[in-house]
Amino acid sequence: MTQVGSGPAVSTSVGAAGASFVEWGAVFAGAVLAAAITFVLLTFGAAIGLSATSPWPNSGLSAKVIASLAVFWAMAQQIGAFMIGGYVAGRMRSGWHEPTQHEVEFRDGLHGGLVWAVGVIMSAILLAATAGVLARTGAEVAGAAAPRSASDQMDLILDALVRPITTAQAAAPTAGGQAQAQAAARARAAAPSTADEGRAEMSRILLSSIASGSLSNENRAYLVQLVSQRAGISPQEAEKRVIEAFNGTRVAADKTRRAAVLTGFVTAAGLVISLASAWWAALKGGQHRDNSVPARFGFGNRRRRMVPMT
């Protein structure tokens, strides 16, 4: 569009050369809204998940069902939040005079993509700031139901490894070195700090053996000696416990690895789908903006028919 007058023609096109077609106000508005919705829905989902668990037998949902629902909820809330944020950004973007409709759609969709990028960063900061609180709350309510972390699994393995024999077993006649092993166990029980250091050392040996792929003869003999002294059992029984602990540590490490892989794939898939959803929602927001369609979040294409009066 040009201005007619005595002077030269001056272009008043909104898309003048050098103008920025990215409106960060609309982008940040959509990103803030998406991050807020994500935080609210995650908190709500955590509360629902905790209410579905129970420490009592035959009550509450199973761990697999809860894990499946958690994955579904994490993806659904993320996609929905970015759809709303992308729609808001596309709707709030100014109507530039782009040369073609394809350019209009690209710029609207790009604003939705920017909402996704900024929202991911903001959500990561929010989750990092609140993850500790949510984790502590979940541990306090559902910690009695089952161990959830790798450290809990390792503690259980060490507990079984160094568990003392019962009173009846201690009184029964055993192998030749049983009395000396029991005396050593009582001596070590009198020093809690030494016992804690022994548990930490056994944990390091088991984890390093898992990383190397096998339990060496030196480490096995040393663990057998420690377990025999701590638990007051024969070396044969201690060796059996060491082998079971090594196998249990390997199983726990494999479960942790598979959980990390699954979490990575689910997170990546959710982010990709969220990007596509934000782009599409921004396109719809731009179309509603250009056609002056009321924002009804899913009902915007439904227009009221004017019935002529007779």
pLDDT category at 144 given cuts 50, 70, 90 is very low
Are both 92 and 34 inside the same structural domain?
yes
pLDDT tens per residue, range 172-182:
444 445 555 55
Query: Higher model confidence: residue 193 or residue 236?
Result: 236
Are both 225 and 204 inside the same structural domain?
yes
- For strand 2-3 and strand 10-11, is the pairing parallel, antiparallel, or unpaired? antiparallel
Are both 115 and 39 inside the same structural domain?
yes
For the chain, what is the mean pLDDT? 74
Are both 139 and 155 inside the same structural domain?
no
pLDDT tens per residue, range 12-48:
344 444 566 788 899 999 998 988 888 888 888 877 7
Residue 298, domain member (yes or no): no
Are both 223 and 239 inside the same structural domain?
yes
Are both 284 and 139 inside the same structural domain?
yes
Are both 49 and 26 inside the same structural domain?
yes
Are both 41 and 98 inside the same structural domain?
yes
Q: What is the pLDDT of residue 292?
A: 81
Q: What's at 282, amino acid-wise?
A: A
Residue 92, domain member (yes or no): yes
Are both 238 and 189 inside the same structural domain?
yes
Are both 184 and 140 inside the same structural domain?
no
Among candidate residues 303, 294, 304, the one with its CA nearest the CA of residue 87: 294
Domain count along the chain: 2
Are both 162 and 142 inside the same structural domain?
no
Share of the chain above pLDDT 90, in %: 13
Are both 61 and 142 inside the same structural domain?
yes
User: 242: domain range?
Assistant: 151-254
How many CB atoms neighbour CB 155 within 10 A? Answer: 14
Residue 310, domain member (yes or no): no
